[in-house]
Chain A
């Protein structure tokens, strides 16, 4: 008879494996809380990729040139792919994609609050690529070393694809910034609106982030919210200068002693409002997603019916 282990001793062994940087693989034993935390995090990440297609998708038909349209299409298609990689990673933990997408549609699982802001002008497409994808890359690069193997591998693949997302946004804004006065203003306005929400993407400050300690111990999270945010600010300030655009923060400045840029306080009240469902586009995002799901149902059903008939034909033959 194989030896039986108590959950306690298994949990100890699990933590030891994590401490020695061993990745967790789907069939390994893991604490239930690790599993449920991982499912929730990967699902929210997947939902963010899928919902994230909407703000930019909004501009595909109105892109100002064929070149820009092709780029934007490719980018939005990548985001769909990212969502699918991530749902597949979540499924290795014993849930089905459909359960997760149902939870999203029912409003019982969240996605990144950034996608509840509207894309008012063409410059927003640039600001999203530069700032939102820039912040996402900062976050995702850290996650390539997360402890759950399938999630980490999805991150590696995603990061490889992301770099063009940020660059196309930067290039788009650079063109506008150096364009006519109206174009420059449009670029500046977009940056003004996206800067603070982009900083919020890293989540609440470490001091108010109750799950951080456990996630760090399990190496689900490798870098804290505040550290990631600082990384992003330090990287972005010189880029803004190169663009000839201002970041809307009067307190932004190099701190010689810290060796980092200081920045002003973030409006966490706004963050809570948007996360709580009261952002400018929350309702729209979910209803568009729900409509896409309902309108695509007949395609999925037809494909299944076709497959059923093929099976029948094969067994008859």
Chain B
């Protein structure tokens, strides 16, 4: 217990294969970006889960407030006209 502070936390994103977007897979501790990438390789890709890794300092991630979920995400609910199923078109025309 020689140190009071642990290495900082990083969020890890993996691209599974070419053509896919990077996806959040978890987090880890590392002192710097280089070691964060190395640790991410050891921790999250032991079975070929990825071909590309992003690491981002956790403190750099800003998140929306779960209590704002309603005001933030409800408005589209009454905008059904944004969905193709809103429109009545002849069925046989492959629209």
Contact = CB atoms under 8 A, between A and B. Distances in A.
Q: Answer yes or no: do A and B interact.
A: yes
B9 interface: yes
Interface residues of A, number: 32
B85 interface: no
A303 B31 CA distance: 6
Interface string A9-43: 00000000000000001011100000000000000
Nearest to A27: B66
A29 B68 CA distance: 12
A83 B65 CA distance: 29
B9 A91 contact: yes
Contact of A97 (B4, B29, B43): B29
A98 B66 contact: no
Interface residues of B, number: 23
Contacts of A97: 6, 29
Contacts of A310: 32
B31 A307 contact: yes
B66 A77 contact: no
B25 to A, nearest CB: 8
Contacts of B28: 84, 88
A91 to B, nearest CB: 7
Given A102-B1, A300-B7, A301-B3, A27 B31 contact: no
Interface string B39-78: 0001100110000000000000001011100000000000
A78 B63 CA distance: 31
Interface string A210-224: 000000000000000
B32 A294 contact: no
A306 B31 contact: yes
Most buried by A among B7, B26, B43, B63: B26
A77 B32 contact: no
A227 interface: no
A203 interface: no
A96 interface: yes
B6 A294 contact: no
B94 interface: no
Interface in A286-314: 293-294, 297, 300-301, 303-304, 306-307, 310
A99 to B, nearest CB: 9
B6 A27 contact: no
A105 interface: yes
Interface in B1-27: 1-7, 9, 26-27
B2 A304 contact: no
A206 B67 CA distance: 37
26 contacts: A25-B66, A27-B63, A28-B66, A29-B67, A74-B46, A77-B46, A78-B46, A81-B43, A84-B28, A84-B43, A85-B26, A91-B27, A96-B6, A98-B4, A102-B1, A157-B26, A161-B46, A294-B2, A297-B2, A297-B3, A300-B7, A301-B2, A301-B3, A303-B7, A304-B31, A307-B31
The 3 closest A-B pairs by CB, nearest first: A303-B31, A98-B6, A307-B32
Given A27-B63, A98-B4, 20 more contacts: A27-B65, A27-B66, A29-B67, A74-B46, A78-B46, A81-B42, A84-B43, A88-B27, A88-B28, A97-B29, A154-B26, A161-B46, A161-B47, A293-B1, A294-B2, A297-B2, A297-B3, A303-B7, A307-B31, A307-B32
